Amino acid sequence: MRCWRRCAPPAPRSSRCRRPRGRRGNRWASTPAALLRALAARGLTRVLAEGGAALAAGLLRAGLVDRLAWFHAPAIIGGDGRPALDALPLELLSAMPRYRRTALALPGADLFSEYETASEMGTA
């Protein structure tokens, strides 16, 4: 998993974002929630997480996703493609994260849809 981040505009080296350390001092042992808290403490309240199916599923499982931005291409890859999301171990369909569409756009041939967390679980 790669974690890309940028503090904009470029900050002096002494104030750049650093990933919080885990229990044993390992910089990569922190949780996504700890990383987001550290970024929020620096005033970064919006994060684009684009890191593959495992990262997306981990953020969803942790309840850390309040907005989705989704591009749909007019093409079908099928089972040979890479999944957008790893499995979410849900025992009930009512436990799945729900979102409400807030925007649609047609940038070129693609479809862009944007979603935010539904105000009540179970509503779409």
Strands (E), 47-96: 67-72
Packed helices 32-41 and 53-61: angle between N→C axes, nearest 10 degrees? 80
115: pLDDT strictly greater than 90? yes
Q: pLDDT at position 1, please? A: 38
- pLDDT class of 120 with cuts at 50, 70, 90: very low
Residues in the chain: 124
CB 117 within 8 Å of CB 67? yes
Q: Which amino acid is at 30?
A: S
- pLDDT class of 17 with cuts at 50, 70, 90: low
What's the pTM value of the predicted model, to 2 decimals?
0.66
